[in-house]
Amino acid sequence: MPSPLFHAATGYFLGKYLPRNIIPRSYQFHRFDFNILYPVLIATCADFDFIPQILTGTGFHRGISHSLIFTLGFSLIVAGIASKIWKISYQKLLRFTLILYSSHLILDFFAEGRGIKLFLPFLDQFFKSPILLFPGIHYSKGLFDRSHFIPILYELLLSAVLYNLLTQWQAYQAHKAAKSAIKNNIHSHPQLHSQKSIKSSDSSF
Ligand SMILES: [Zn+2]
**What is the pTM for the complete model shown?**
0.79
- Indicate the DSSP class of residue 134: B
Query: How far is the centre of ligand 1, averaged over its atoms, from the C-alpha of 168 (Å)?
Result: 29
Q: What is the DSSP track for 107-121?
A: HHHTBSSS-B-TTTT
In tens digits, the chain (205 residues) has pLDDT values of 788 889 999 999 998 888 888 888 777 666 666 778 899 999 999 988 877 776 776 766 778 899 999 999 999 999 999 999 888 899 999 999 999 999 999 999 998 888 899 998 998 999 999 988 888 777 667 667 777 888 889 889 999 999 999 999 989 988 988 888 888 887 776 665 555 555 555 554 4
Distance, CA 96 to ligand 1 centroid (Å)?
A: 19
- pLDDT of 204 reads 47
**Cα of 117 to ligand 1 centre, how many Å?**
11
Cα(189) to ligand 1 centroid in Å equals: 55
Domain ranges within the chain, ordered by starting residue: 1-21+30-139
pLDDT of residue 205: 46
CA–centroid distance, residue 131 to ligand 1 (Å): 17
Interatomic CA distance for residues 155 and 6, integer angstroms: 6
Q: How far is the CA of 82 from the centre of ligand 1 (A)?
A: 23
Distance 185 CA to ligand 1 centre (A): 49
Which helix (H) or strand (E) segment is 37 a member of? helix 34-44
1 close to 105: Cβ distance less than 8 angstroms: no
Using the 8-state DSSP alphabet, how is residue 163 labeled?
Answer: H
How far, in Å, from the CA of 37 to the mean position of ligand 1?
18
- Spatial CA neighbour of 96 closest among 188, 21, 168, 147: 21
Residue 100 CA to ligand 1 centre (angstroms)? 13
Do residues 101 and 71 make contact, with C-beta atoms less than 8 angstroms apart?
yes
What is the C-alpha to C-alpha distance for residues 66 and 110, in angstroms, rounded to an integer?
13
